[in-house]
Structure formats: C-alpha cells, structure tokens
Amino acid sequence: MQHTTPASRAGRKKIALTAVAGLLLSGCGGAANAGEDTPFVFATGKDISCLDPHVNGDMPQASIAANYLDSLVSQDKDGTIHPWLASDWAVSADGLTYTFTVRTDVTFTDGTPLTAEAVKANLDHMVDPDTQSGTAGGYLKPYAGTEVVAADTAVVTLNRPYAAFLEVLAQPFLGIQSPEALKRPQAENCNAPVGTGPFKIVDYVPQSKATLVRNEDYNSAPPFAEHQGPAYLETIEWRIVPEDSTRYGLLRAGQVDALDLMPSVHFDEAESDPNVELILQDRPGNPTNLILNTTRPPFDDLDVRKAFLRSAYVDAGINSVYFGTVTKAGGPLSSTTTFYSPDFEDVYAPDPDEANQLLDDAGWTGRDDDGYRTKDGERLTVHFPYTPNSWPTAHQALVTQIQATAKQVGFEVLIENGDAATVSEQGNNFEYDLRADYWNTNTADVLRIVFSSEYTESAGFVANGSGFRNPELDGILNEALATDDAETREDLYYQAQQIVSDNALQLPLYNQASQVALRSDRFGNFALEPSLSLPYLYDVTAVDQP
C-alpha cells in the first residue's frame, strides 16, 4: 500500500469535505420520502456501556445521542450560538444568571411536554454524584441551581461567571432528556433514554446494536439542519463492530451503510472505490496525547518530563502507523479549537542529544546492563497502564514506537495492558506515570478541565491526569471565563497554553477526528453536527437506484 504524507492527508481531507458539501447541496437525487422503509446501518468500533450521555461520558455515547436528543442551544461551524429547544435566553450583567425561555410546542417521545421543569431536571441530573457523570457533570462545576419561574422559563444560577456555558450546552453530552424518563432507575434509562430528537431508541443489546426509529412528530430541528419536520430515514441500526477490518469489510460488502473509526490501512482502498465517500473532520478540544503524572517520580521532575517529550518521534510514528490519515497535534489545543495558537507546535521536537543532557542534569547518569538510565540504584521506569480495546490498532502501534524511542535515551516504558475498569481505577488514583488521554469539546475551556487544580478530583473520572496544580494557571483560566470579550479571552488562553507547554505536561500525538466512510451509492446528505463533529443522520436520504 502506498504510504501518504501529511501534505497528501491535507489534500485528501479537503476533497472529502468538498464532496460532502456537494452531497448536501444536490440531495443525491433522493426525494423527501426516499429513505422510508430503507434501514440505515451504521457500524461503530466501540461499545456503548450506557446510552445516556449524562452517565460517564464517552464519545460513542455522544455520537448516538446526537440523533435522539436535542440540546437547549445549537452552535454553528463558526462557533456562534443559536436557539434550539430554548427559543431565547438572557444573561445577567454579572454573568451568574441565565434565563432560558423554552419552546412550548415540543414533546418528548414518551409524551411528556417540554417545559422549564425539564431544564431543571436535566441539569440537576448531570451534577448529581449518583449519575457518575465525568463529562456532563464536569462541565457544570459552576452550576448552583435552577429555579422554574414559569412553565416556559427557567432561571439557571451559577456560582461564578462561566463564559463557556452556552458552548457546552450545545453538545450532545448535555442533550435534554424527558424528566419522567430520568426518574427511572439508571440501568433502565441507560438502555432507553428519551429525548425530543428526530429518532427514538426502541431496542438496545449491549455489545451488539441499538435500534432507532423515526420520531414522526419531530418539529424541533436545529438551525444547522437541511430540512424541517420528521427525518427521512425510518429506521437506524447502530451496530457495534470492534474489529477494524471486519467493520470495513461489511461496508464494502454492502452490509453496513456507514462506519466510523475508518481504519487507516484501508484509506487508499476506500478513496479508489466509487461507491465509498470519506467524511473527515478534526474535532476541537484537547488532542490525543500521553499525559505525564507530575504527582510522583519520575515525572515530578520537569527536566525528566522534557527529556521524555524530546525522546518521542511522533511525526514518524504517525506516518508509519496512520499512513498520514490523521493530523499531528502541536499543543494542548487541537487546531480546530477556538483560541488555538500554532506557537506551541513542535516546542519539544525530537532531540535525543537534548534529552540525554536533561537526564544527566536530573541525576540519571548511570546505565544498567539493559541500557536503561539509573539513579541511586533505581532504574528510570515509567509505568503506563493501557487498555488496548479502547484504542485503534494504529494507536497501539504508535505507543509501542514511542516506547522504543524512549528506550534509546534510557527510559524503561512498561506498557501494562489491563481491562477498562482496572485502568480507570488506576487513573482515578494517580497510579501511573503515563496515561493515554484526549478530551473532545467545543471550547478552549478544555484547558481548565484538563489542567486546573479543581479537576484533580471529579465524580467518576479525574480529568486532570497530570495532577498539575498551579495557582497562576487556575487564575488565568477562571479569568477567561469571567469575560465574554473575545480578544481578552484569546490573550488569556494564550497565556494558559504557554504555561502548559512550559511545564511539559503531556506529549501531544494527533488531533481527534471524525472519520466516517459512507456508501454513497446508497445514501447521501450525511453530515456532522457542528459542536463536536459527530455523525448526524437527520438529513440522510436514500439515493434513487437505477
């Protein structure tokens, strides 16, 4: 197979996105009812332990939730916030009170009307410790409570200004569910959450599939949608197919209509197939990375952290295992995130001479018989708990290459494979030196979630995997939330990126991305919702067959 370069990857991405835009404009020849009675089969590579995106908080949850939950507000591709289930809102001068007016003509698919009570029930559910929300609850640390002042008016109070509040409310993670359904036991709601969206969950078989059917009464499409009223598709089968080649083989055989986590080894083949369209888009947030635990040796030493970053040949690794199908990350923010700065790209470019000097300066001057650095009789060992099933095959190959290059300067990196529960527990207790991480979100406030002191503890998941505590950084990130002035926020987030970079807290690898392959000979109008670039099937139509 021909290996591609980052330059060809950029060209490929442009072609794919242009083709998708063409599909949206042309409608692919499908009439409004073309999708009826034609099941749309979507294959995903990772299991969904709970369909309710308020619980835990994993990207596969948000992906499917984007198709059965609506949000209070919507965000366009330029980052502007627009009405959705909330028809209007007002923010107090001190930034502590948000008054939402909700639509009075929308009903959840269980028959419950949308009211201000639903807003209160959902926000309270997200921050409830019993919900175990590492994502939705994590976004709502400033939440103080909601008062329902009228059937259509909810007054949300924060305990501090939070300029990113509307941005995070636009995400599927914070989609609005039926307040009656939320009263059910968590296990029941995990299997069949209820929203107001274009589809509704009717069946769920863990580790196998979920079935969604069209909401015939749907009347609350967001501004970014291409039409209004019910969806064109009648049924969606959301299949769990973990093995990359199997998932792609099903697409080629016509047994699935679209897939995500497109395997990098099959990109060239897919591009040459006239029946397959690639939909590619980098996601905003904190990119895929290896985060360094600063709370214990050896990475409590800044020189050792810098040496590890200098030992990693990330560019070469990405090209060899991803074949140029992902874009290298250059800093703590992915390049599609508002307020991202390119100034922090390649700050720690590979430099084994510099890495060796840093380790010498840190006192790791000895070498044992296996070539690893030693200090006071102790080997320079890095423990890296890892769950292979949670990552693409290419990611596993990439971390193995990083392990090898780290050895060249004297690090012993132990990749310790374990099950998800065990590795998660280790992560919540800082029982590691390296942790594989990312955080997809549509705001630069991700820097606070991933690096500020307040996120060294969290319900269900410790987001600040470095354990870094820095009062100056905390102050800058909180100041950025206290203003809605774009220039001021840009300057503050630049300062925050500088502090994170200077302290060598993580090794950025590549930008998280939506990589979808579609059988374009069968369906068109496949789109990505704007907040997190997740699959959005509301506008999908069947292509007329000859």
- pLDDT tens-digit readout, 268-318: 999 999 999 999 999 999 999 999 999 999 999 999 999 999 999 999 999
Beta-bridge mates of residue 527: 536
Of the pLDDT bands very low, low, confident and very high (cuts 50, 70, 90), residue 458 is low
Examine the pLDDT at 397 and tell me if it is beyond 60: yes
- Asked, as a colleague might, if the bond just before 530 is cis with ω within 30 of 0, I would say no
- How many angstroms separate the CA atoms of 49 and 215, rounded? 24
- 312 in Cβ contact with 405 (< 8 Å): yes
Q: Indicate whether this model's pTM tops 0.85.
A: yes
Q: Which helix (H) or strand (E) holds 249?
A: helix 244-252
Q: How far apart are CA 104 and CA 99, in angstroms?
A: 16
pLDDT, residue 19, reads: 35
Region 476-498: mean pLDDT is: 96
What would the two tokens of residue 284 be?
């905003």
508-536: average pLDDT: 96
The residue ranges of every structural domain in the chain are: 1-47+207-282+514-546, 53-184, 285-511
Distance CA 482, CA 161 (A): 5
Residue 378 forms beta bridges with which residues? 375
What pLDDT sits at residue 457? 82
Rounded-to-integer distance, Cα 311 and Cα 499, Å: 21
Is the pLDDT at 6 greater than 50? The verdict is no
Contact yes or no for 98/163 (Cβ under 8 A):
no
- CATH fold for domain 53-184: Dipeptide-binding Protein; domain 1 (3.90.76)
Residue 29 DSSP symbol: G
pLDDT at 544: 76
Residue 25 predicted with pLDDT over 50: no
Contact 240, 46 (CB under 8 A): yes
d(CA 329, CA 509): 5
Q: Does residue 432 carry a pLDDT above 80? A: yes
Dihedral class, residue 413 (left if φ above 0, else alpha if ψ from -120 to 50, else beta): beta
Q: Encoding tokens for residue 332?
A: 């703590």
pLDDT at position 37 is: 61
Mean pLDDT is highest, among 45-54, 286-295, 449-458, for 286-295
Burial 351-378 (b: 16+ CB within 10 A, else e): beebbbebbeebebeeeeeeebbbbeee
The whole-number pLDDT of residue 4 equals: 27
Task: Round to whole Å and give the CA distance between 100 and 117.
Answer: 11
| d(C-alpha 74, C-alpha 51), whole Å | 21
**More reliable by pLDDT, 392 or 75:** 75
pLDDT tens profile 471-481: 999 999 999 99
DSSP state of 212: E
Average pLDDT value for residue range 355-369 = 98
Task: Supply the Cα-derived Rg of the chain in whole angstroms.
Answer: 23
Q: Which pLDDT score, from 0 to 100, does residue 496 have?
A: 98
Q: Which letter, b or e, does each residue of 2-18 get, where b requires 16 or more Cβ atoms within 10 Å of its Cβ?
A: eebeeeebeebbeebee
Q: How far apart are CA 27 and CA 56, in angstroms?
A: 37
Domain 1-47+207-282+514-546 has CATH 3.40.640.10: no
CB 409 within 8 A of CB 359: yes
Sign (positive/negative) of CA torsion 497, 499, 501, 507?
Answer: negative
pLDDT of residue 16 exceeding 50, the answer is no
* Amino acid symbol at 282: D
User: Please, what is the average pLDDT of the chain?
Assistant: 91
Place of tokens 């998280």: 512
Whether the per-residue pLDDT at 32 is higher than 60: the answer is: no
What is the homologous superfamily of the domain 285-511 according to CATH?
A: Dipeptide-binding Protein; Domain 3 (3.10.105.10)
In percent, the amount of the chain with pLDDT more than 90 equals 84
Residue whose pair of structure tokens reads 């073309």 in the numeric block: 34
Cβ atoms of 126 and 446 closer than 8 Å: no
Please compute the mean of the pLDDT values over residues 351-367 and round it to a whole number. Answer: 98
Task: Convert the pLDDT of each residue in 335-356 to its tens digit.
Answer: 999 999 999 998 999 999 999 9
- For residue 105, how many other CB atoms are within 10 A of its CB? 9
**What is the per-residue pLDDT for 459?**
56
Q: How confident is the model at residue 91 (pLDDT cuts 50, 70, 90)?
A: very high
Which band of pLDDT confidence, cut at 50, 70 and 90, is reported for residue 441? very high
- Residue labelled with tokens 């990505």: 528
The b-or-e profile of 125-138 (16+ CB within 10 A means b, else e) is bbbeeebbbbbbbb
Question: Measured between alpha carbons, how far is 80 from 76 in angstroms, rounded to an integer?
Answer: 6
Per-residue pLDDT, 514: 94
| Banded model confidence at residue 330, pLDDT cuts 50, 70, 90 | confident
pLDDT tens track for 196-214: 999 999 999 999 999 999 9
Give tens-digit pLDDT for 97-124.
999 999 999 999 999 999 999 999 999 9
46 pLDDT above the threshold of 80: yes
d(CA 136, CA 444): 16
The number of CA neighbours under 13 Å toward the Cβ of 96 is: 5
Mean pLDDT confidence for 126-141: 87
Tokens of 22: 């063409």
For 301-343, give the secondary structure using H, E and C.
Answer: CHHHHHHHHHHCCHHHHHHHHHCCCCCECCCCCCCCCCCCCHH
Mean pLDDT of 349-369: 98
Q: Where are the beta strands (DSSP E) in 325-398?
A: 366-367, 373-375, 378-379, 381-386
Query: What does the DSSP assignment read for 489-509?
Result: HHHHHHHHHHHHHHTT-EEEE
Are the C-beta atoms of residues 391 and 436 closer than 8 Å to each other? yes
